[in-house]
Every structure is written in structure tokens, then in C-alpha cells.
């Protein structure tokens, strides 16, 4: 299985709303006692195993709008199919501090997801959407804004919850449980 957290590389993007995918992956790798450090397939990666299954954690370095290039390369490199893929990303179209899990579906308004769907040629892969809500700002300015100190703790808990839900799914393979738990975080 390949788990990709979408985001933008670099210090200036570290604590932005657009880097929720990276942050969930950080929590997951921490839980697994692994570091995402190897550079391959235009991504920072780490390879491990859970319950005897190969697990690749990846943070694309292509910047958000070109994430599909890295995801396509990762699938080819590790000889996996889109059904073996989970993509985690921020989503303005769901309420702030909530999660939504889908087994397939459109990219919606997210340019990173549009890139992934376009490059791998299918919408049939699991996605974990981290709700950042909408704001009156210009969309680009909003998603690239820093998570404020008043929100930091709440988002941190959300990232930890999302990582746990994904880890549980990797361990038990129960998609119904994944959907139930992921869609009940509000």
C-alpha cells in the first residue's frame, strides 16, 4: 500500500492549511517509529511493513499542483495499482476540523487531487480529506495561510486521529470501519 500526504515542500509552507496531508503523514510515521527521509520518485519516502504488507509513506516534492507526477512514479516504482493507494489532503469543501473518507470520487476543487486523478487515469482510490473549511480570502491565500495558534492544538488532534484511522485500516483492511470512523470526525 502507498499512502501519500499532499502538501508543498519548504519551510515557508510547513504550517499551512495546504500541508494537512504532510502533517497527517508525519503523525503516521511517528506512530510507526519511522522517518520519511529517502528521496525517490520526486518524493520523500519511507518503506516499512505492517502485518506483513509493504507500506510506502510518501510526501511529494513536486508542489501541490503537480502531485500526480510523483504519485504515478510511486505506483510504477513499487509495482502497485491505484487500488493500493490512499491520498490524504486538505479540503475546503468540508467543515473545518472534520474528516471525510471516500473509496473513490472526483477531485472536486482541489488542484493537487486533479493532478493525481489526471496522471494515474482513475478516480478509484481511497482519499482521506481533512476539512479546513472556507473563508472569505482569496482561495490561494487562504490555503497557503498558516494554521494560527488558536487552531494549532485542534488541528494537531485531527491529524493524530486521521493517522490512527489510516493505520487501523492498514492493519485490519476493514473499509466499512475506515468509512465509519473517518466520516464521524466532526
| Residues facing 43 on adjacent strands | 40, 60
What is the H or E stretch that residue 2 is in?
A: strand 2-5
Candidates 89, 91, 81, 63; CA nearest to 120 is 81
Contact 130, 162 (CB under 8 A): yes
As to burial, measured by CB atoms within 10 angstroms (0-12 exposed, 13-18 middle, 19+ buried), residue 29 is buried
Cα gap 67→93, rounded to integer Å: 19
Distances (CA, A) of 130 to 33, 98, 183, 186: 23, 6, 11, 10
Residue 110 appears among annotated catalytic residues? no
Catalytic residue among 2, 4, 16, 18: 18
**Active site residue ranges:** 18
Amino acid at each position: 500500500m502507498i499512502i501519500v500526504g499532499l502538501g508543498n515542500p519548504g519551510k515557508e509552507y510547513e504550517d499551512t492549511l495546504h500541508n494537512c496531508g504532510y502533517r497527517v503523514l508525519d503523525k503516521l510515521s511517528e506512530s510507526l517509529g519511522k522517518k520519511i527521509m529517502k528521496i525517490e520518485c520526486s518524493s520523500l519516502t519511507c518503506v516499512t511493513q505492517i502485518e506483513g504488507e509493504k507500506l510506502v509513506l510518501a510526501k511529494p516534492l513536486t508542489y501541490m499542483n503537480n502531485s500526480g507526477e510523483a504519485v504515478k512514479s510511486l505506483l510504477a516504482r513499487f509495482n502497485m495499482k491505484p487500488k493500493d493507494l490512499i491520498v490524504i489532503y486538505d479540503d475546503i469543501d468540508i467543515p473545518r476540523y472534520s474528516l471525510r473518507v471516500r473509496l473513490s470520487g472526483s477531485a472536486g476543487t482541489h488542484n493537487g487531487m486533479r493532478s493525481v486523478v489526471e496522471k494515474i487515469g482513475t478516480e478509484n482510490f481511497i482519499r482521506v480529506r481533512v476539512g479546513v473549511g472556507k473563508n472569505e480570502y482569496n482561495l490561494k491565500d487562504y490555503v497557503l495561510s498558516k494554521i494560527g495558534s488558536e487552531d494549532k492544538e485542534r488541528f494537531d488532534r485531527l491529524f493524530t486521529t486521521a493517522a490512527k484511522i489510516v493505520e487501523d485500516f492498514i492493519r485490519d483492511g476493514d473499509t466499512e470501519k475506515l468509512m465509519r470512523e473517518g466520516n464521524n470526525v466532526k
